[in-house]
A and B are shown apart, each in its own frame.
Chain A
Amino acid sequence: MSEAATTLAGARKGRPSILRRWVGQALARNLSCLVVPGPEVALAHGLDLAAADMRIAATPRDATVLLIVGELSQKLDEATAVLYAQMPRPRAILVLGGSAPSSLPQADVSADLSQTELMEAATRLQRLLAEDAFAASPDDFDSSILQAKTEYVCPMHPEVVEDEPGSCPKCGMDLVAREAGGDSDAGEHDHDHDHEHEHHGHEHDHDHEHESEEHDHHHAHHNDHGQSHEHHHDHEHHQNHKRAHDHEQHQGDDDHEHAHCHEHEDHGHQQSTAQEQSGTEYICPMHPEIRQNEPGSCPKCGMDLEPHKPEEDEGVREGVPEHDHEHHHDHSGHDHDGHDHSDHDHDSSGFMSMVEVTKDLPRSADGLAMDWLEVPFGPCFPGLPGGLKLTLTLDGDGVTEGQATSLVAMNTSSEEVAVETFIERLAAAMPLAPVSYRLLACRAIEQAAGLEPDPAVERGRAAALERERIASHLGWLAQLGRQLSFVWLTRRAAALQLETQRADREQLVALRPALQSLIARLEHTPLLKARLKGIGALPHGSQDLRGPVARASGRTEDARQADAMYRELGFEMRAESAGDAWARLRQRHVEIMTSLDLVEVAGDPELPKLRAIDNPSGTGEATVETPRGRATLRLTQERGQVVSVELDSACSQHIGLVADLVEGQELGDALVAVGSLDLSPWEVTS
């Protein structure tokens, strides 16, 4: 049921010509996809992109096709619009097994979630690209998500950020407008919004300069850092103040230069008159030219004037903002201010010294004071699970703090649904472990109905669960390979994962030598141990560890131990002890082999299906050891309808560990540490 549009919404502007036709054909035969939510989700659905002649692109910049796998949550939908805006035209959208995201144009090709549909869709997409990569008047892509959001900040107190204009509760100064930064950057690049400005159907090579004089940018801060302290120029400070005025009075005014000139003259004049006065005077911390003999507020910015004695000024140059006594003699701090007047720094809070901004923050481990950048990683970052957004504050390439949020978190407070629908929904909501959650739902419902476990059924279910565990751990290995550019591992593990997913007992047993050799090889791969050893070690006594992460730290935490069926199958838990990323890798190796043994004993895997229940009301609770750890589901059903649900999953606990894991680490190590947790953002409950 694959459907294709007749024209390409993301065509590039240009009249068809022979050369453009060739380019279109080249694009068609060289499909590079940005997979949303991520390549691991495509793999978990059993999609083999390479077989469909598609290459996985690491960034939206390098992608021709936006490949959307399954339904997206609202937040991920919005983030996807940003990613799409970052892709260079000609670009296409391919939606597999979901409705087209609302913030994107109509999908160029949509199909069901299966390998055959994917192959067919790829062919259609190729035809479309070959013929319609260029169009005389392509559609613009615009979405409310991409519009810059304005927020209001206090120039003196960067922590004061309001949605509406007003004055600062701390110093009374008028808040200034700026484009909302970091938080609204849902996509993986800093420049999310930027490119949108460029995407109004123009040719891009020539028309960018006009835009965005006034916007804030993380990066801009870099310019004022590390500049030599010796360079004093008298007009440095004038620059500062010019800028301060500018932001109040000429906000959004493109004619900056003009504004600067006027202010400049004005400025010098007022200063010289102010200097002649003596005794206590009151000056505006932001506008030293505003001096008066009595307290009051600044006519320019509304800030309260501060008392000031001219003799204190010694050693401090004329016009230095004096809002903070600690910094009274701190030249370096102020000198930084003056330097950030490089061309592309029109940051509205940029006149603030970064030293000022960071003065109360702890220094990095090496003692260097650097500009701290808040950089989003995710929700579609090549080295992290799709749907996970990691926000790291970078100090150089060290991480000072970070936190992870899930954009695809499960919402358990849903409306009443029939039990069968509930099972399907829960399984579909967890693309990385559908079997485990299907089993969890079946068990909870059966328990609520008062059914006793049936050993024959449980055997097949256990085999299915263990097969999923093998596939899931292989998927994690493939993801590790992507994170570390370990191409061989990615290819090998992904191929094995695809084979495992559909295998029966016999086929799984036949895969044993391949799995063993993969594991043996990894344990002896040079550099791998050095890369993982000692990384991501959890603080001692971390609570709520589950699954392989817990067992890699030597905890005997495994829901399967309590299961009579598993005892019968001869399950024996084995655990590593070091608790770092290397131990987690080895723990997963061990579990792959243990699960294989279990499947061999248990027989053919059977997908969990709800058994016939006679009493469709009651409360049930079930626990399943999912590939990522123990999950417990409590539900209440009434007359065949599930009315309330409570889910307690491993990833909800583990996502909270991220902040501790990344703090103080080098960027690469921090990402490896987060990756080693094998978070599934879907299994986080909101």
Chain B
Amino acid sequence: MTVALVLLTLLVGAWLLAVIEAWLTTGRLRPVAPLLAGLSHLGRESILARKPDRLFFETAPVLLLVVAVLGAAVLPLAPDLVIADLATGALFLNAVLAYVLVSLIMAGWGPNGAYAMVGGWRFLGQLIAYSMLIVMPITATAMRAESLLNSAIVESQAGLWNIVYQPLGFVLFFIAAIALAFRSPFDLPTAPGELAGGVDAEYTGVRLAVLRLARLVMVITLSAATTVFFLGGWQGPLLPPWAWSLIKTLAVAVSMLLVGFYLPRIREADLLGWCWKLGIPLALLNILIVGLLILVVP
């Protein structure tokens, strides 16, 4: 039951996101558009590039989807609506997200094409940039909760949400999450104007449908993670807990889309430079501040 509800939430979230994305790019609000797009992908040929690494090519989209769903499995949408509230939930999420890289390298290598290949390796550089900025802000939220249990992290924000308690951590995590989901302005591995789709470039038909779905679900999962770690999770007045989770998650997801809509793609060198020279010192500072707050404020 819980599993079904979480999966349904992810699917509905992905659908809403696709509707809004199409609205932003075409200026038309068409609720059926994502369903039509999905159906047309199913009806189109799924071409296999010449001399592919078949295993990698086939596995990559599925792996990305699995990663996104696994990540969502440890995020509580309501006090009892979580597939697995692991004692090491916050850590597990980090571990799962590392496989996004694996999936993209596979998608880059698999189809045996230069654009995809460059895209896949670009994401390796991107991981080096963002990964610390995912881990360190989560660390600071776990410090406050004194637990790696995701539900405990939500409960620790009962008085004050982490977005206020540690705004710096929120900003860093939000940016890193967009980079992890490789959405614009961090869409370096797909980069339509530079790599003609990059890792996506050789996928068609059903495989492309899975890949697109996985990317949308990934955004929802990361938005749900942002909600759990920084926006007080299911907490809120009047509405039932699951509704709050849903509203906050969608709000974060939409703001991720909007950031991409209004910004040009970042330069790879700038991304690395800024993350390491600015982001990581700030993340350390965030940990320091949170540590001091925990010591000083009872």
| B201-250, CB < 8 A from A | 201-205, 208
Please tell me if the beta carbons of B193 and A482 are within 8 angstroms of each other in the complex: yes
Please tell me if the beta carbons of A30 and B36 are within 8 angstroms of each other in the complex: yes
Q: Which of B62-70, B111-119, B150-158, B160-168 contacts A (4 or more CB under 8 A)?
A: B111-119
Q: A interface, how many residues as a size bin?
A: 35 or more
Please tell me if the beta carbons of A30 and B33 are within 8 angstroms of each other in the complex: yes
B51 on interface, CB distance cutoff 8 Å: yes
Known A61-B208, A212-B51, A485-B193: A26·B117 in contact at CB below 8 Å: no
How distant is B171 from chain A, measured CB to nearest CB, in Å? 13
Q: Which of B32, B118, B205 meets A394, CB within 8 Å?
A: B118
Q: Which of B27, B50, B191, B264 meets A194, CB within 8 Å?
A: B50
Q: Which of A197, A381, A485 meets B264, CB within 8 Å?
A: A485
The 0/1 profile, CB within 8 Å of B marked 1, for residues 298-333 of chain A is 000000000000000000000000000000000000
Please tell me if the beta carbons of A397 and B118 are within 8 angstroms of each other in the complex: yes
Q: Which residues in B have some Cβ–Cβ distance to A below 8 Å? A: 24-28, 32-33, 35-37, 39-40, 42-53, 112-115, 117-118, 121-122, 184-185, 187-188, 191-197, 200-205, 208, 260-270
Task: Point out the residues of chain B lying under 8 angstroms from A671, CB to CB.
Answer: 193-194
A24 on interface, CB distance cutoff 8 Å: yes
Please tell me if the beta carbons of A23 and B204 are within 8 angstroms of each other in the complex: no
The residue of chain A having its C-beta at the shortest distance from the C-beta of B257 within the complex is: A487
A127 on interface, CB distance cutoff 8 Å: no
Q: A219-B117, A482-B192, A527-B270 are in contact. List 19 more A-B contacts (CB 8 A).
A: A26-B37, A58-B197, A59-B200, A61-B202, A88-B46, A190-B115, A191-B112, A198-B47, A211-B50, A215-B51, A219-B51, A220-B51, A344-B51, A344-B53, A382-B196, A396-B118, A487-B25, A525-B263, A668-B268
How distant is A483 from chain B, measured CB to nearest CB, in Å? 4
Q: Report the bound CA distance from A675 to B68 in whole Å.
A: 36
Please tell me if the beta carbons of A190 and B114 are within 8 angstroms of each other in the complex: yes
A341 on interface, CB distance cutoff 8 Å: no
Q: Report the bound CA distance from A219 to B37 in whole Å.
A: 31
The residue of chain B having its C-beta at the shortest distance from the C-beta of A133 within the complex is: B43
Please tell me if the beta carbons of A88 and B204 are within 8 angstroms of each other in the complex: yes
Q: Which of A22, A197, A373, A488 meets B39, CB within 8 Å?
A: A22
How many interface contacts (CB-CB < 8 Å) are there between A and B? Answer: 205
Task: Point out the residues of chain B lying under 8 angstroms from A70, CB to CB.
Answer: none
Q: Report the bound CA distance from A491 to B25 in whole Å.
A: 7
Task: Point out the residues of chain A lying under 8 angstroms from B118, CB to CB.
Answer: 394, 396-397, 667
Q: Which of B43, B113, B188, B191 meets A219, CB within 8 Å?
A: B113
3 tightest A-B contacts by CB? A23-B43, A383-B193, A194-B50
Task: Point out the residues of chain A lying under 8 angstroms from B24, CB to CB.
Answer: 487
| A370-387, CB < 8 A from B | 373, 375, 381-383
Task: Point out the residues of chain B lying under 8 angstroms from A669, CB to CB.
Answer: 267
| A203-258, CB < 8 A from B | 203-205, 208, 211-212, 215, 217-220, 222
**Pairs across A and B, CB under 8 Å, 20 listed:** A12-B44, A23-B40, A26-B37, A30-B36, A30-B40, A50-B28, A88-B45, A88-B47, A89-B45, A189-B115, A194-B49, A194-B50, A195-B47, A394-B118, A397-B121, A485-B265, A527-B263, A527-B270, A668-B194, A671-B194
Please tell me if the beta carbons of B196 and A668 are within 8 angstroms of each other in the complex: no
Q: Report the bound CA distance from A488 to B36 in whole Å.
A: 24
Q: Which residues in A have some Cβ–Cβ distance to B below 8 Å? A: 12, 20, 22-24, 26-27, 29-30, 50, 55, 58-59, 61-62, 64, 86, 88-90, 133, 188-191, 194-195, 197-198, 203-205, 208, 211-212, 215, 217-220, 222, 344, 373, 375, 381-383, 394, 396-397, 480-489, 491, 525-528, 530-531, 666-669, 671
How distant is A199 from chain B, measured CB to nearest CB, in Å? 9
Please tell me if the beta carbons of B268 and A666 are within 8 angstroms of each other in the complex: yes
Please tell me if the beta carbons of B27 and A491 are within 8 angstroms of each other in the complex: yes
Q: Which of A222, A480, A668 meets B117, CB within 8 Å?
A: A222
Please tell me if the beta carbons of A90 and B50 are within 8 angstroms of each other in the complex: no
Task: Point out the residues of chain A lying under 8 angstroms from B50, CB to CB.
Answer: 191, 194-195, 197, 208, 211-212, 215, 217
Please tell me if the beta carbons of A191 and B268 are within 8 angstroms of each other in the complex: no
Q: Which of B39, B121, B192 meets A383, CB within 8 Å?
A: B192
Q: Report the bound CA distance from A419 to B156 in whole Å.
A: 82
The winner among B193, B202, B263 for most chain A CB atoms within 10 A is B193
The winner among B24, B121, B191 for most chain A CB atoms within 10 A is B191
The residue of chain A having its C-beta at the shortest distance from the C-beta of B203 within the complex is: A61
Q: Report the bound CA distance from A188 to B113 in whole Å.
A: 11
Task: Point out the residues of chain B lying under 8 angstroms from A487, CB to CB.
Answer: 24-25, 184, 260-261
How distant is B150 from chain A, measured CB to nearest CB, in Å? 32
The winner among B117, B184, B208 for most chain A CB atoms within 10 A is B117
Q: Report the bound CA distance from A482 to B36 in whole Å.
A: 24
How distant is A139 from chain B, measured CB to nearest CB, in Å? 15
Q: Report the bound CA distance from A394 to B116 in whole Å.
A: 13
Please tell me if the beta carbons of B122 and A397 are within 8 angstroms of each other in the complex: yes
Known A58-B192, A220-B51, A482-B193: A525·B112 in contact at CB below 8 Å: no
Please tell me if the beta carbons of B40 and A64 are within 8 angstroms of each other in the complex: yes
Task: Point out the residues of chain A lying under 8 angstroms from B262, CB to CB.
Answer: 488, 525
Please tell me if the beta carbons of B193 and A382 are within 8 angstroms of each other in the complex: yes
Q: Which of A26, A191, A220, A222 meets B49, CB within 8 Å?
A: A191
How distant is A584 from chain B, measured CB to nearest CB, in Å? 15
Please tell me if the beta carbons of A189 and B201 are within 8 angstroms of each other in the complex: yes
Known A26-B40, A486-B264: A59·B25 in contact at CB below 8 Å: no
Task: Point out the residues of chain B lying under 8 angstroms from A484, CB to CB.
Answer: 193, 264-265
Please tell me if the beta carbons of B25 and A485 are within 8 angstroms of each other in the complex: no
How distant is A383 from chain B, measured CB to nearest CB, in Å? 3
Please tell me if the beta carbons of B113 and A189 are within 8 angstroms of each other in the complex: yes
The winner among B24, B192, B203 for most chain A CB atoms within 10 A is B192
Please tell me if the beta carbons of B121 and A26 are within 8 angstroms of each other in the complex: no
Please tell me if the beta carbons of A30 and B37 are within 8 angstroms of each other in the complex: yes
Task: Point out the residues of chain B lying under 8 angstroms from A189, CB to CB.
Answer: 113, 115, 196, 201-202
Please tell me if the beta carbons of B197 and A485 are within 8 angstroms of each other in the complex: no
Known A219-B112, A666-B269: A485·B184 in contact at CB below 8 Å: yes
Task: Point out the residues of chain A lying under 8 angstroms from B194, CB to CB.
Answer: 383, 483, 667-668, 671
Please tell me if the beta carbons of B202 and A485 are within 8 angstroms of each other in the complex: no
Please tell me if the beta carbons of B53 and A373 are within 8 angstroms of each other in the complex: no
How distant is A658 from chain B, measured CB to nearest CB, in Å? 16
Known A26-B40, A375-B114: A204·B196 in contact at CB below 8 Å: no
Known A195-B50, A482-B193, A671-B194: A373·B45 in contact at CB below 8 Å: no
The winner among B200, B202, B204 for most chain A CB atoms within 10 A is B204
Known A12-B44, A89-B45, A485-B184: A218·B114 in contact at CB below 8 Å: yes
How distant is B259 from chain A, measured CB to nearest CB, in Å? 10
The winner among A194, A528, A671 for most chain B CB atoms within 10 A is A194
Task: Point out the residues of chain B lying under 8 angstroms from A220, CB to CB.
Answer: 51, 112
Known A59-B196, A344-B51, A667-B194: A205·B45 in contact at CB below 8 Å: yes
Q: Which of B45, B52, B188 meets A12, CB within 8 Å?
A: B45
Task: Point out the residues of chain A lying under 8 angstroms from B260, CB to CB.
Answer: 485, 487
Please tell me if the beta carbons of B25 and A20 are within 8 angstroms of each other in the complex: no
The residue of chain B having its C-beta at the shortest distance from the C-beta of A384 within the complex is: B193
Task: Point out the residues of chain B lying under 8 angstroms from A194, CB to CB.
Answer: 49-51
Please tell me if the beta carbons of A61 and B267 are within 8 angstroms of each other in the complex: no
Q: Report the bound CA distance from A188 to B192 in whole Å.
A: 12
How distant is B67 from chain A, measured CB to nearest CB, in Å? 23
Please tell me if the beta carbons of A528 and B44 are within 8 angstroms of each other in the complex: no
Known A58-B196, A197-B50, A204-B48: A50·B185 in contact at CB below 8 Å: no
Q: Report the bound CA distance from A212 to B40 in whole Å.
A: 29
How distant is B70 from chain A, measured CB to nearest CB, in Å? 27
The residue of chain B having its C-beta at the shortest distance from the C-beta of A205 within the complex is: B46
Q: Report the bound CA distance from A119 to B251 in whole Å.
A: 36
How distant is A263 from chain B, measured CB to nearest CB, in Å? 23
How distant is B87 from chain A, measured CB to nearest CB, in Å? 39
Known A27-B43, A396-B121, A485-B185: A188·B196 in contact at CB below 8 Å: yes
